Amino acid sequence: MSDSEEKPIFNKKRIASVSILALLVLSLYGSYLILKPYIHSFILAGIFVSIFYPLHTFYLKKLDRFKKKKTFAALLSTASIAGFVLVPLMVFVSILAYRAYDRFTAAKEWVEEGHLEKKLNEFKFIIPDKSEESEDESSTDSTITSPINTPSIQSTDDSTVAGVAESPIVLKSKTAQRLKAFQKKYMPTLTAAKAQDWLLSKSQMLVKKVSEGILPVVGGTINIIMNFVLMLVIMFFFFQDGKSIVKYLLSFNQMSKAYEKLLIDRLKSVAKSALLGTGMTSLAQGVLAMVAFAIVGVPWFFWGVMTAFASLIPVIGCAIIWIPCAIYLHVIGKTGMAIFLALWSIIVVGCADNFIRPYFMKEDSGMSSMIAFFSILGGMQLFGLLGVIYGPLICGVCAVLLYIFKLELATKEEETAS
């Protein structure tokens, strides 16, 4: 064949195909930029629709005689989810957020106005200086009190109480003895002045960090509400036209029907496991923790909610809350309550994870316990709280795609061998 008869590299058909492909890529990228602020709403709406689709099917059967049954069923399904699941959850989170905002604002003002420094001055005598170590140990057996409306005590020691007034301070001898013994054994060089300066600086730093990190999040409540309303709108359209959308998207896929079904089933399974299993387990553990906190005399509602959120972290989640509380109870002399809180948290709250989570996670997620653990941790680090869902979802899809790839390799090897 001569050179003149060879097909040209660039012909009209190839140029048209490349142009269409380039325009398609640009339009897809532009669509991504437009929808990027709402991508979380789309993903969460899709997960809720997949979980509650049996409810939508029930409404479709009941409304079979109506012409616009798909629209009515989608409206009822969305309203049901909003009324029984999402609205109560949003109200609860909003109330908790505003309470946290008030608490942290009050704490910030309290520290900035010097009240923390004043309290540290009052309790300065708990940690003795070197000059006090030679005193008779029997003096710690008596109850330590500061006088009411007494003038400042003149002393050159760091541990003297300067200007203690207005209210009596009564410290049980047992607690004082424990604190002094702990300080003498583990921190012998610590003085009252050093402890006061360290506590004051760290407390101010903590309040500053909380103000910078949490308060802006609470201030974005309006944005959260807008995304919530948007998610409901997306859910309505997913209920109404979800099957058509999925069918259209799968038409571009070249996988076999068996692989498509395997991938979709795994997506549903992991989404249900992540949302229902984790959510219901956290709720149950939070309620059980509230019972224990109410019994031991700790602010039960706040710390119960904190336990529910902390339980999202696998294995060590609840311990982040109850261990410091148990230590606090032991330090103030309530050793029995501390032991009760520890046993309740380990046996009752901990075992709830072993019974409740498997009940809601009946379907196999296709991941080992180690991968599931790190998928949640890594997901939370990358996506925040939504990483509890996104992490297992991404790793679950990766696992099933690897499985499909393995099957394809095995099929090609069989074809080559034959």
- In tens, the pLDDT along 250-299 reads 888 777 788 888 888 888 877 777 777 777 888 888 899 999 999 998 88
297 Ramachandran zone, left/alpha/beta (phi>0; psi -120 to 50): left
User: Residue 45: which of 222, 230, 321, 266 has the closest Cα?
Assistant: 230
Q: In this structure, which amino acid lies at residue 41?
A: S
CA-CA distance, 378 to 372, in Å (whole number)? 10
Rg (CA), the chain: 31
pLDDT at 145: 44
- Tens-digit pLDDT profile for residues 3-36: 555 555 667 777 888 888 899 999 999 999 998 8
pLDDT at 211: 55
CA-CA distance, 286 to 144, in Å (whole number)? 38
CA-CA distance, 87 to 90, in Å (whole number)? 5
Q: What angle do CA 49, 50, 54 make, to 5 degrees?
A: 90
User: Domain ranges in the chain?
Assistant: 9-112+221-252, 113-215, 254-410
Q: In this structure, which amino acid lies at residue 170?
A: V
pLDDT at 120: 56
pLDDT at 118: 65
Inter-CA distances, 60 with 48, 106, 192, 241, 407, Å: 17, 52, 72, 13, 38
Q: Which residue has the tokens 């809180």?
A: 341
CA-CA distance, 130 to 182, in Å (whole number)? 15
pLDDT at 199: 62
Bridging pattern class, strands 170-171 and 144-145: antiparallel
Q: Which residue has the tokens 């200007």?
A: 163
- What's the mean per-residue pLDDT of the chain? 74
Angle, helices 69-81 vs 221-250, to 10°: value is: 140
CA-CA distance, 208 to 205, in Å (whole number)? 5
CA-CA distance, 174 to 333, in Å (whole number)? 7
User: Residue 314: which of 287, 343, 277 has the closest Cα?
Assistant: 277
DSSP state letters, 113-128: TTHHHHHHHHTGGGS-
CA-CA distance, 202 to 296, in Å (whole number)? 28
The pLDDT profile of the chain, 418 residues, written as one tens digit per residue, is 455 555 556 677 778 888 888 999 999 999 999 988 888 889 889 888 988 888 999 998 888 888 888 889 999 999 998 887 777 777 776 666 666 666 667 766 766 666 656 665 655 544 444 444 444 444 444 444 444 444 443 444 444 433 333 343 444 456 556 666 666 666 666 555 666 566 666 666 665 665 555 555 555 556 767 888 899 999 999 999 888 888 888 888 777 788 888 888 888 877 777 777 777 888 888 899 999 999 998 888 878 888 888 887 766 778 888 888 888 888 788 889 999 999 998 888 888 777 776 666 555 555 666 777 788 778 878 887 788 788 888 888 888 888 888 888 888 877 777 7
407 Ramachandran zone, left/alpha/beta (phi>0; psi -120 to 50): alpha
DSSP alpha helix (H) spans, 39-135: 39-51, 53-62, 69-81, 87-112, 115-122
Strand partners, 170: 145
CA-CA distance, 309 to 326, in Å (whole number)? 19
366 Ramachandran zone, left/alpha/beta (phi>0; psi -120 to 50): left
